[in-house]
Amino acid sequence: MFNKPSVFGRNEPITRRDSQPVLGYSSQNSRATPDKNAVVEKETAEKPAATQSPTAANAPAPAVATTPRESSSTTDNVMGARLIVGPDVKLKGAEILDCDTLVVEGRVEATMDSRVIRIAENGSFAGTVSIDIAEIHGTFEGELTARSQLIIHSTGRVSGTIRFGKLVVDEGGELCGEINVISGKAATQSKPAIEPYVALNAAAG
């Protein structure tokens, strides 16, 4: 009754549903849409470069403030303690202590044990002095011990009990009294200490 070939056996082309168009669509979409994993990896790789700005990388190191060291020695320390007795000043009956340099421009009657004494041309000193260096432009009377050197300039007048290591007397300077050399050198001891004074007196006469 039914002819099978007429119903099912028709030679009509049977369209097969192939997945190729779907795959093609998927592959086309995959080419158009980038892979999410690749995007994430790329962003992760670019993040460190973006975080480090060129300004921060090239910024110089902050300067460290340093406090300059103070100088360990000044002019006052080099010269030591200094006392100046002015031209119109009279100092009497004093004991001068802790004074490295005494400059006498007035009149002083005192006792002193120090390093340097300088008596100006119009200055005078009367008393006992034990000193390293004595430089006399004016007048000294008393007991003077110059352990290192006694310098008498042309206007200087020194009298009394005088002891010195070395003696320098300019022409016109005067030295008289009891004079002793405290140097241990035989050559210095062989010369009479009074010789400069005699020579000066002879020149003055």
pLDDT at res. 59: 54
Dihedral of the alpha carbons of 164, 166, 170, 172, in degrees to the nearest 10 = 30
Tens of pLDDT, residue by residue over 27-61, are 444 444 555 554 445 454 555 444 455 444 455 55
With cut-offs at 50, 70 and 90, classify the pLDDT of residue 11.
Answer: low
Distance CA(19)–CA(123), nearest Å, equals: 130
DSSP string, 86-123: -TT-EEEEEEE-S-SEEEESSEEEEEEESSEEEE-TT-
Does residue 189 surpass a pLDDT of 50? no
CA 199 to chain centre: 51
The type of residue at 106 is G
Judged on CB neighbours under 10 Å (0-12, 13-18, 19+), 148 is middle
Enumerate the H helices of 2-99 as residue ranges.
Answer: 4-7, 20-32, 36-51, 54-58, 75-79
pLDDT per residue over 56-84, tens digit each? 445 555 444 433 333 333 223 335 788 99
- Nearest C-alpha neighbor of 176 from the set 191, 151, 193, 189: 193
Residue 168 confidence (pLDDT) above 60:
yes
Integer Cα distance of 23 and 93 in angstroms: 126
Length of the chain: 205
| Helices and strands of the chain, counted as H and E runs | 7, 10
| Nearest-angstrom CA–CA distance, 136 and 140 | 8
Element housing 188 (H / E): helix 186-190
Q: Is the pTM of this model over 0.75?
A: no
Tell me which residue of 144, 155, 123 sits closest to 193, measured CA to CA: 144
Cα–Cα dist 92/97, whole Å: 14
Task: Map residue 128 onto helix, strand or coil.
Answer: strand
The structural domains of the chain, with segments of one domain joined by +, span 18-52, 81-204
